[in-house]
């Protein structure tokens, strides 16, 4: 994507500001649902930076995998298991905050040193390819064909194993099978008792 230098600088500044603001919201918000939503904003901002670097495939994978799969899974998990709890003070909380702040300051200093010490000026301009999808497809089916096929076979095996485990209603006991005793069903959770509705309660009282 060929953009003017001023447009690239402005776009980079906006995306960087959005990413930093969303990342701070992920850490500072007390509601974990808000943090999960802002995490999606961080991922989208990163995909915008990939687009500025002419990495269209990585940007699309960032949105499809991280935003469309990982972030949605995190939101579903939070909404299913999250419960409102009363805040309880933790003894020695300031020690944890001080340790977290020390680690964050150390990482910021390390990254700042790396940014300042890296020579960013290039001797010759690099021409970006027209479409990275075509180049990635060529490498997948030529140079990296064997790892690509092995990864697909492993994913297929994992999917078949997950289907078999999900459809298994019982696990037979070896001793019971050898002694001609009826097999006992395991890995089955007891049924949750149902709450009686007003109509059912009145009918039971009449009986």
Average pLDDT over every residue of 10-19: 92
Give 166's contacts (C-beta < 8 A, 6+ positions apart).
none
- What gap in Å lies between CA 65 and CA 71, rounded to an integer? 9
pLDDT at 43: 92
Instruction: State mean pLDDT over 52-68.
Output: 86
| Segment 61-81 mean pLDDT | 84
Q: What is the pLDDT of residues 79-103, one digit of tens each?
A: 777 566 666 777 778 888 899 899 9
Q: Which of 15-24, 55-64, 74-83 has the lowest mean pLDDT?
A: 74-83
Mean pLDDT (whole number) for 127-147: 78
The mean of the pLDDT values for the chain is 78
Task: Point out the least confidently predicted range of 135-139, 153-157, 169-173.
Answer: 169-173
Given this model, what pLDDT does residue 42 score?
93
The helix or strand, by DSSP H or E, that contains position 117, with its residue range, turns out to be: helix 93-117
- Within 8 A by CB and 6+ apart from 194, the residues are none
Task: Quote the pLDDT of residue 189.
Answer: 46
Note the pTM of the prediction, 2 decimals. 0.58
User: Cα(143)–Cα(139) distance, rounded to whole angstroms?
Assistant: 5
């Amino acid at each position: 994507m060929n953009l003017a230098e001023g447009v690239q600088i402005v776009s980079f500044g906006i995306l960087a500001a959005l990413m930093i603001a969303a990342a701070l919201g992920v850490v500072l918000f007390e509601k974990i649902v808000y943090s999960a939503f802002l995490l999606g904003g961080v991922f989208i901002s990163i995909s915008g930076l990939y687009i500025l670097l002419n990495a269209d495939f990585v940007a699309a994978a960032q949105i499809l995998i991280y935003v469309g799969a990982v972030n949605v899974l995190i939101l579903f998990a939070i909404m299913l298991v999250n419960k409102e709890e009363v805040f309880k003070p933790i003894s020695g909380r300031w020690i944890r905050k001080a340790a977290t702040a020390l680690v964050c300051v150390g990482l910021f200093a390390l990254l700042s040193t790396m940014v300042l010490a890296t020579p960013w000026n290039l001797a010759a301009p690099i021409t970006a390819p027209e479409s990275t999808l075509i180049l990635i497809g060529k490498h997948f089916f030529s140079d990296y064909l064997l790892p690509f096929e092995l990864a697909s076979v492993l994913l297929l095996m994992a999917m078949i194993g997950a289907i078999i485990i999900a459809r298994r209603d019982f696990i037979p006991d070896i001793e019971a099978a050898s002694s001609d005793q009826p097999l006992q069903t395991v890995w089955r959770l007891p049924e949750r008792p149902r709450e009686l509705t007003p109509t059912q309660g009145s009918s039971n009282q009449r009986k």
